[in-house]
A and B are shown apart, each in its own frame.
Chain A
Amino acid sequence: MAADTVIEVEGLRTCFGETCIHDGVNLSVRRGEVLGIVGGSGTGKSVLLREIIMLHEPTAGTIRLFGEETGDLDEAAADRLRRRMGVMFQHGALFSSLTVLENVMVPLREQLRLPPALMESVAALKIALAGLPADAGPKFPRQLSGGMLKRAAVARALALDPELLFLDEPSAGLDPVSANALDELILQLRDSLGLTVVMVTHDLDSLWRVSDRVAFLGEKKVIGLGSMETLSRSEHPLISTYFQGPRGRAAKEHAWAGR
């Protein structure tokens, strides 16, 4: 395996009871790239993400993270790997009993030894980076709007400046301005910190703007892998209907106009 490959998925198979949603998924993610994962609803993008971050055990196949095979890791080694990753879940998964600021402080508290005041400042910085106003800090998740929840979840995922960032539909439910700002943030962090980002999204504009490569999930496999330009010219019927619809074309024109 090449030194600059961060994630490698081989021959992955996932079944829930009788139905299998993945059968022979192969995918590798290089260091410092933004990889988009797309595909129709229910094709198993979120499940794939959960398998990579060791929350769900695949039925068969191997997943290597930073060169280590996740299947045969002990708890301590798995924990060490988890510390290098930040995850934003599709539905936020913020701790409802904690304020936004405290939510962002949870990973900081667990991993670093910093005085409380300093930790709060760092958490406030992450909240600002994610594009939330400062007065969102003392609020509880139930007091936030859907889009604000997303950004709070991004802030928590970024808390430790992880090497590897997983985002499950980060821009769903965001207004266009915030969605752009989030795209910018991902790009800037990638450039300045060398983050590797794996992003599941249905937001075609965002795919054109930030992704280096895109993996298309369909027919239980990765049926297309490449830059947006390559994929959007693909002949495969599933991929072409995905990208050649009115939305896909508008996003493409938009992306070209922006260059």
Chain B
Amino acid sequence: MNSALPPPGDIESGPDAGTFRLTGAWTTAHLERLRLRLERSPWPAAGAVRLQAGALEALDTGGAWLLQGLLGELRGRGLQPRLDGLRGEFTALLELVRERLGESVPAAPPPREGTLAWLGREAWRRAEEGLALLAFFGETVVALGRNLLHPGRIRRHALLESLQSAGVNALPILALLSFLIGVVIAYQGGVQLKTYGANIFIVELVTITMLRELAPLMAAIIVAGRTGSAFTAQIGTMQVTEEIDALRTIGIAPMDLLVLPKLFGLVLALPLLTVFADAFGVLGGMTMATLMLDVSFGDFLDRVPQAVSATSFLIGVGKAPVFAAIIALVGCYQGFRVSGGADSVGRQTTKSVVQSIFLVIIADAVFSILYSWLGI
């Protein structure tokens, strides 16, 4: 390859009729231009065509492919093309391309499907996904039963690890966010209460909303974003690298090693996280109450037992294991749905977070309806 760039490839007709001169660099970069030039060249209707390639300065595989195609097409038109003066190494390249390409034509792209076919396929995919999720839940329950019958099978190490990563490591962010939510509620509610002089009711406002609704939801949403996504990414990546298959062949059920410890860990951790969020949410509310409404910490805490019953607290904490199960199962399920490569891991992780938050909120609504029926 010369360091001085040769001019772009070209083809000129003449001097005699049926004679063409190939010049410049016939390289991939100039293919489009060359193709147009070839189309516009005055090819004779019949007889011999002489292609003089003595002045051809560079040829790469793309150029050789074009030249080979030209020879083929001219022959197809019933002409007799002859290539003269091609350098030795270029001839070898032309030969290589001819040999390797053979008669193979690139496969036609698959035909585009119609709207109806697309609709059908999408509907089927959704239905299949729903069924698969159900099947996964069922499988987990079976594995759960097996593990509870033989507690020795429970992977303690994996369980502790998931408690650590899903529970302990989430404490700082959860504390901060709960505190801020408590502050915001107290502030928004406090402005209204102040106008009626009902400052002390801030206690009811903050404690009931935090304990019953916001703390469990906050904890669940943070865990879904932090931990559910990590579950999917971990299992998904293991799926891509065939680690899951390797586990199976070694005789370790992926369910036992990967799913159940996560499920147990989260079901234990989320109620605890909820209590933690309760505490920091109320603390946030209390801080705001002191600063804005002149309700001191002492007054606030004195009123708490009157304002909220233990039931409110238990209702909030009681929802947490259900949320935890949803997050763990959806996270793991989406991980197992990964097929192919990196982009699939990303897609399923997104799905996992969206689906688990969606299902958590649905479950929360169902709980509300249930509690109002029961009158608690």
Contact = CB atoms under 8 A, between A and B. Distances in A.
Rank and list the top 7 A-B pairs by shortest CB-CB distance, nearest first.
A96-B341, A192-B93, A97-B343, A124-B106, A161-B60, A192-B89, A134-B104
Given A122-B28, A129-B61, A161-B28, A138 B104 contact: no
Given A122-B62, A125-B61, A137 B29 contact: no
Contact of B90 (A126, A142, A192): A192
Interface string B25-61: 0011101100100000000000000000000000111
Interface stretch (A45-53, A110-118, A226-234, A241-249): A110-118
Nearest to B240: A96
Contacts of B27: 161
A128 B101 CA distance: 6
A118 B32 contact: yes
B341 A141 contact: yes
Nearest to A181: B100
Contacts of A140: 340-341
Interface of A: 95-97, 108, 112-115, 118, 120-122, 124-126, 128-129, 131, 133-135, 137-138, 140-142, 158, 160-161, 163, 185, 188-189, 191-194
Given A124-B106, A137-B106, A108 B28 contact: yes
A127 to B, nearest CB: 8
A98 B320 CA distance: 41
A12 to B, nearest CB: 27
Given A128-B104, A161-B62, A138 B92 contact: no
B96 interface: yes
A137 B104 CA distance: 12
B97 A138 contact: no
Contacts of A114: 28, 31-32
A129 B21 CA distance: 28
Given A122-B31, A134-B106, 20 more contacts: A112-B28, A112-B29, A113-B32, A114-B31, A114-B32, A121-B106, A122-B65, A124-B106, A125-B97, A135-B107, A138-B109, A141-B341, A163-B1, A185-B96, A188-B93, A191-B89, A192-B59, A192-B89, A192-B92, A193-B60
A129 B97 contact: yes
A131 B100 contact: yes
B341 to A, nearest CB: 2
Contacts of A128: 100-102, 104
B339 interface: yes
A178 to B, nearest CB: 12
A105 to B, nearest CB: 12
B92 A188 contact: yes
A175 to B, nearest CB: 17
A118 B65 CA distance: 11
Contact of B101 (A96, A112, A125): A125
B110 interface: yes
Interface string B56-73: 000111100100000000
Q: Which applies to chain B's interface (DSSP): helix, strand, loop or mixed?
A: helix
B348 to A, nearest CB: 13
Given A108-B28, A161-B28, A142 B341 contact: yes
A9 B284 CA distance: 63
Nearest to B90: A192
Contact of B106 (A96, A97, A120, A158): A120
B342 interface: yes
B105 interface: yes
Nearest to B345: A96
Contacts of A131: 100
A96 B61 contact: no
A96 B61 CA distance: 26
16 contacts: A95-B341, A96-B341, A97-B344, A113-B32, A121-B65, A122-B31, A125-B62, A125-B65, A128-B100, A134-B106, A138-B109, A161-B61, A163-B1, A188-B93, A191-B92, A192-B59
A118 B31 contact: yes
B259 to A, nearest CB: 24
A227 to B, nearest CB: 23
B35 A118 contact: yes
Q: Which of B65, B106, B109 has the most CB of A within 10 A?
A: B106
A121 B35 CA distance: 12
A125 B62 CA distance: 8
Contacts of B65: 121-122, 125
Contacts of B343: 96-97
B96 A188 contact: yes
B110 A138 contact: yes
B66 to A, nearest CB: 9
Nearest to A140: B340
B261 to A, nearest CB: 28
Contacts of B31: 114, 118, 122
B60 to A, nearest CB: 4
A160 B93 CA distance: 15
A57 to B, nearest CB: 25
A35 to B, nearest CB: 18
A100 to B, nearest CB: 11
Contacts of B1: 163, 193-194
Contacts of B90: 192
B106 to A, nearest CB: 4
B96 A142 contact: no
Interface string B77-114: 00000000000011011001100111011110110000
A120 B32 CA distance: 12
